Amino acid sequence: MLNRLTSITLLLLCSLVPATPASADPAPADPLNVLVITGGCCHDYPFQTMQLQKAARARKVDVNWTIVNAGGYGTDAEIDFYRDPDWAKGFDVVIHNECFAKTTNPEYIRTITEPHFKGVNAVVIHCAMHTYRNAEIDDWRQMLGVTSRRHEHKSNYVVKNTKPDHPVMKDFPQEWTTPNDELYVIEKVWPNTTVLATSVSEKTGQLHPVIWTNTYGKARVFGTTYGHGNETFEDDVFLDTVINGMKWAAGKP
């Protein structure tokens, strides 16, 4: 009888203890909506775009990609995509990987920079720094975070990580040597720019920013001047950095 009462008591106690819920897996993050604007002179943009997509998948970053490869292969173009006043609507990040140095129309350039200033985040790669470089207005250069109008010869440049605690640089070694790539001469670093890595000119010994972040209005901007050839877009350190930069720009580091 005692054993039976004990058993009933234990059962009652167990029924009063709330069940511990099974640990639920965290809800999957929403995919990033990423627009890539690419085209123009001097680079293998289809390959570079494919490598960015592969890199995101390999690093388990869920991305909805929209690719606009337009403007031909020259240095002067105005892309029809930008004529829609809502061209940037719905995108978490816009990746600018284009090369149109001779396009100078201020009204056209501001159709690009104004959505960014209002909060559309950006990633800017390599020749994006020389895009619109002949323009008289500074809007694009302010958005980039640096001013550059020329580059030096190709070489294997040593890159020094100057902000190892920054989320963009978490996978970046203290030093990394680029594949054969171009060093861009930086004339000016704009006030809201944070330099994350530098390289030294083999000609002048001058230190140049090569990886950085910028704040442009309400937008977060990540930039790198490297990314000329396919070898760079096959390099894991470079791809780690660009994907981390894309996530940082989207506010999801």
Taking 60 as the threshold, does the pLDDT of residue 27 lie above it?
Answer: no
- What is the model's pLDDT at position 41? 94
Q: 21 or 227, which is more confident?
A: 227
- What is the model's pLDDT at position 61? 97
For 127, 183, 207, 209, 240, the CA distances from 186, given in Å and listed in that order, are: 13, 9, 9, 7, 23
- Mean pLDDT (the chain) is 91
Region 176-195 average pLDDT: 98
Using alpha carbons only, how large is the chain's radius of gyration in Å? 24
For 196, the domain range is: 29-249
Region 41-55 average pLDDT: 97
Residue 85 within a domain: yes
Residue 24 within a domain: no
| Number of compact structural domains in the chain | 1
Residue 214 within a domain: yes
Residue 18 within a domain: no
* pLDDT tens per residue across span 110-149: 999 999 999 999 999 999 999 999 999 999 999 999 999 9
* pLDDT tens per residue across span 66-100: 999 999 999 999 999 999 999 999 999 999 999 99
Match 């020749």 to its residue by tokens. 127
Q: What is the CATH number of the domain that holds 124?
A: 3.40.50.880
* pLDDT tens per residue across span 154-176: 999 999 999 999 999 999 999 99
Residue 7 within a domain: no
- What is the model's pLDDT at position 26? 52
User: Residues for the chain: how many in total?
Assistant: 253
Residue 19 within a domain: no
Helix (H, G, I), strand (E, B) or coil at 214: strand
Confidence of residue 253 (pLDDT cuts 50, 70, 90): confident
For the chain, where are the E strands, in sequence order? 32-40, 63-69, 93-99, 121-125, 146-155, 158-161, 175-177, 181-189, 193-200, 207-216, 219-224
Confidence of residue 23 (pLDDT cuts 50, 70, 90): very low
The letter for the amino acid at 154 is K
> What pTM, to 2 d.p., does this model score?
0.88
Sign of CA dihedral 211, 31, 81, 67: positive
